[in-house]
Amino acid sequence: MIEARRLHILRAVADHRTVTAAAAALYLTPSAVSQQLTALEQETGHRLVERGAKGVRLTPAGEILLGHTHAVLAQLERAEAELAAYSSGSAGTVTVAAFATGIGLVVAPALARLAVTAPGIHVRVQDAEGDASLPMVLDRQVDIAVAVEYRGAPAADDPRLTHVPLYAEPFDAVVPVTHRLADADEVPLAELAKDPWIGQYPGNPCHDVVVLACENAGFEPRLEHSSDDFRAVVALASADAGVALVPRSALIGMDLTGVVVRPVDGIAPTRRVFAAVRRGAEGHPLIRPVLDALARAATVE
């Protein structure tokens, strides 16, 4: 008989590529993870993982079992949801990981709404970028991630997750008031090819959006300055340190002295925001109201 907790460990190893990283995500020791993998191999009668200098990879038998693992764990999430519904599930804690702008734009309004519509649900919020929040959901560290689409992110049809689209917003060009394009109604990205750029660190979903937009305009941005804080990005632009692309909602209420904000000419790069939960958990009586409140907040915004 295959134990479900060992399937969860197998998926964590497949996701993180090393036993050490999987162990850290699961709050286990590497030796405990290795022992559980060995026990799983004994249960199945197949070698499931191969260890190498660059980490761990699944064998063909491991890949077969991983495909079933996604379905089994999703069904267990559904079972927990139905049992919670049977027990009323009207009170409890839901943990949400979201990036800073998303917290202000949809998470905080959702909390205000839930305080009225579902007062028994306590929501705990953690600030985390999208590339960090999705693994946190998969590793059961949080229940919901509010994340941004980016290259390399799990796709909408990923068997491990259920996606709930929330909103999409354009990036605007932010240039110093002394910039040659400061008086333009719209800024063509190609005209910024030779400028120094201010952007997010690699790994931040917004970094991918900006780099891809510049690539589509025919150039690679020369990133002179890096910050994941949009206030710092705008401050550097106001000091004539470079140009930037910033999501429109991140500019709300910000001091824009010294910069000019203009729409991008043509098809603007877009930040697409969604909520994600482990597949099967979307019907949980605690999680469903939070997802609904997030979607309602996004619609109102």
> Which amino acid belongs to residue 103?
I
Q: Specify the pLDDT at position 301.
A: 58
Q: What pTM was estimated for this model as a whole?
A: 0.73
Helix/strand/coil for 85: helix
Q: Specify the pLDDT at position 89.
A: 63
Residues 44-92: tens digit of each pLDDT: 889 898 888 778 889 999 999 998 999 888 888 888 887 876 676 677 8
**Average pLDDT score over the chain:** 91
Whole-angstrom Cα distance, residue 170 to residue 195? 21
Eight-class DSSP state of 251: G
Whole-angstrom Cα distance, residue 199 to residue 205? 11
Residues 15-50: tens digit of each pLDDT: 998 989 989 988 899 889 989 888 898 888 898 988
Eight-class DSSP state of 187: B
Reference 275, options 252, 292, 261, 262; nearest CA is: 292
Tokens standing for residue 176: 């110093």
